[in-house]
Amino acid sequence: MTNPGSAAAGTSPTTSRLRAEQISKSFGPVHALTEVSLDVRAGEVLALMGENGAGKSTLLRVLSGDHQPDAGHLLLDGTPVTFHSPREAHRAGLRVIQQEPEIIPHVSVAENIYLGALPRRGRLLDKRTLIAQVRRDLERYGFQDVLDPGTLGSELSAAQRQLVEILRALAGEVRVIAFDEPTSSLSDHEVDALFGLIRRLRDDGVAIVYVSHRMPEIFTIADRVAVLRDGRYVGDRLVSQTDNAELVRMMVGRNLADMFVRDPREPGEVMLSVRGLVTDDVRDVSLQVRAGEVVGLGGLVGAGRSELALAIIGAVPIHQGGIEVAGEPLRLRGPADALRAGIGLAPEERKAQALLLRRSVRDNITLAVLSRLARLRVVRRRAERDLARRHVDQLAIRASSIEQEVATLSGGNQQKVVLARWLARRPRVLILDEPTRGVDVGAKAEIYSIINDLAGQGMALLVISSEMPELLGLSDRIVVMQGGRVTGEVTRAEATEERVLALAMAEDLSTTGAQP
């Protein structure tokens, strides 16, 4: 291995079970993986770490045959293998346990586990054998107290669903098994059972890849840690020879690109004030955003940031707490009310939540201002076209005309269309949820500059981002969330990647944290 960061080469007694060589994978203009090489050895637990968007999930998808790499190849026990589909990877003995298991709701646990390989007598399902098989499996892996073979899929807890998925994966010959944040929905007791299972698999000679953000877990279960950053392999460490701080450094150690223009600005009045907000996913959140200020909302995926945004806009029910816009309390029955008060949200899932994919650039840009453009309900076409053209020019949206179907634009241009919609509407408060997801580098810089301009014009901006450099580069202030709560707030001057990441993982460290 030529990588200077490799510490463990030669120190492990076992041989390489699965080897990824120079794997690259791009989605359009986005490089998800760049020449990643990685070894997983038989009988070891390799933890895979990295920030959101570092490429962990893409790598797992390559291993599971979901994605085919653009370049590079996989070696399984020294033999080159190519997987055209998840089925082929499965047949070769590779398993990836997804975070969100696919469970059939109205069918028993036993049938869910043996789906596709149900024991039969003639053409009939042999229910007795099936139940016996599942009982045997459960006892073998120590889950007999946690799971009953007869329970229906719909009655399972998140943890039980996870276990069903794992048991399903263990059918047949297993050579490599990857867990994608398996403990995010498990209780301590269940985590112990899972770790017992992982150790047993390891002792049986299975190679295990374990993806997690939770440091204490890594130190409990893993033998070795490999770190990815920005789709590249950073290096690996033996767990016995590293510590928390070093791993965080490896995950974030990246230079801020000179992508951020930032004009000096003086924040004005408090525009958005959220006090003690409680929803299904958000617990007692308070924060403020001033006019002309960019507040970054940091945290790991699932920290409740998007859910907070949806609550502020009135798209999900609020149980407690209040929202004020420019000092006026907001009575929210739906997004229309929030919009009338001057709050806009460019949501996380561009295609699913923001765009009318089969409609034109013009239709998409003017969607939120149609009533303003209408006289006696008739939309003034010239005014509409002018508005759309002006924003296409201003944001340098690359489209053949304003009538081009949005589905045919690149990701970056689609995102700019979403921004254009809000620029046209001119809300007082604009919430941007992952504004540069799936956007190439050039368009990212353009979007940053637009955000800077908007703040300069006095708009209050709340920017949710899972990318550290973006968060640090854009924000005047960063509010960090974890598990639906605000765990801390840092000013621009105090903000470092380590600090934000520590806050984002705060609860994990304090509650699960047995070891440093």
Distant-in-sequence, close-in-space partners of 298: CB < 8 Å, separation ≥ 6: 305, 465, 466, 468, 471, 478, 479, 480, 481, 500, 503, 504
Q: What is the DSSP string of 147-205?
A: --TTSBGGG--HHHHHHHHHHHHTSS--SEEEEESGGGG--HHHHHHHHHHHHHHHHTT
Shortest approach of other proteins to residue 373 CB, angstroms? 7
Instruction: Sketch the per residue contact string, 7 through 46, with other proteins: x for CB under 8 A, - otherwise.
Output: ---------------------xx-----------------
Count of residues that interact with other proteins, criterion CB under 8 A: 49
- Tell the smallest beta-carbon distance from residue 225 to other proteins (Å): 31
Q: How far apart are CA 501 and CA 299, in angstroms?
A: 7
- Distance, CA of 163 to CA of 151 (rounded, Å): 13
Nearer to other proteins, 65 or 347 (CB): 347
Tell which one of 262, 389, 492, 499 touches other proteins (CB under 8 A). Answer: 389
Tokens of 39: 């070894």
What is the nearest approach in angstroms of other proteins to the Cβ of residue 199? 32
Distance from C-alpha of 241 to C-alpha of 237, rounded to nearest angstrom: 7
d(CA 34, CA 123): 49
Q: According to the binding rule CB under 8 A, does residue 402 interact with other proteins? A: yes
Q: Which of 15, 82, 320, 401 binds other proteins (CB under 8 A)?
A: 401
Nearer to other proteins, 48 or 395 (CB): 395
x/- map, 126-165, other proteins, by CB under 8 A: ----------------------------------------
Angle at Cα 417 formed by Cα 412 and Cα 419, nearest 5°?
95
Q: Which of 52, 57, 162, 413 is in the footprint of other proteins by CB under 8 A?
A: 413
Name the residue with tokens 């919609």. Answer: 421
CB 305 within 8 A of CB 280: no
The Cα-based distances of 37 to 65, 71, 234, 333 in angstroms read 17, 11, 10, 52
Question: Per CB under 8 A, does 284 bind other proteins?
Answer: no
Cβ atoms 177, 97 nearer than 8 A: yes
Structure token pair of residue 80: 């080159």
Is 377 a residue that touches other proteins (CB under 8 A)?
yes
From 263-271, 283-291, 402-410, 474-482, give the range in contact with other proteins by CB under 8 A: 402-410
148 or 281: CB nearest other proteins: 281
Minimum CB separation of residue 397 from other proteins in Å reads: 6
**In angstroms, what is the minimal distance from the CB of 346 to other proteins?**
9
Residue corresponding to tokens 């794997």: 23
Residue by residue, DSSP assigns 86-149 as: HHHHHHTTEEEE-SS----TTSBHHHHHTTTS--EETTEE-HHHHHHHHHHHHHHHT-TTT--T
Among 268, 396, 491, 515, interactor with other proteins by CB under 8 A: 396
- Min CB(356)–other proteins separation in Å: 4
CB-CB contact of 367 with 421 (8 Å): yes
Asked if 419 and 459 touch (Cβ cutoff 8 Å), the reply is no
Q: Nearest approach, Cβ of 420 to other proteins (angstroms)?
A: 12
Integer angstrom CA distances of residue 136 from 97, 140, 164, 492: 21, 6, 14, 57
Q: 326 to 355, contacts with other proteins by CB under 8 A?
A: 334-336, 339-340, 345, 347, 351-355
Residue 353: CB minimum distance to other proteins, A: 5
Give the contact letters, 355-374, x = binds to other proteins (CB under 8 A), - = no. xxxxx---x---xx-xx-xx
Q: Which of 76, 226, 313, 387 binds other proteins (CB under 8 A)?
A: 313
**Site residues (CB under 8 A) for other proteins?**
28-29, 313, 315, 334-336, 339-340, 345, 347, 351-359, 363, 367-368, 370-371, 373-374, 377-379, 381, 389, 392-393, 396-403, 407-411, 413, 421
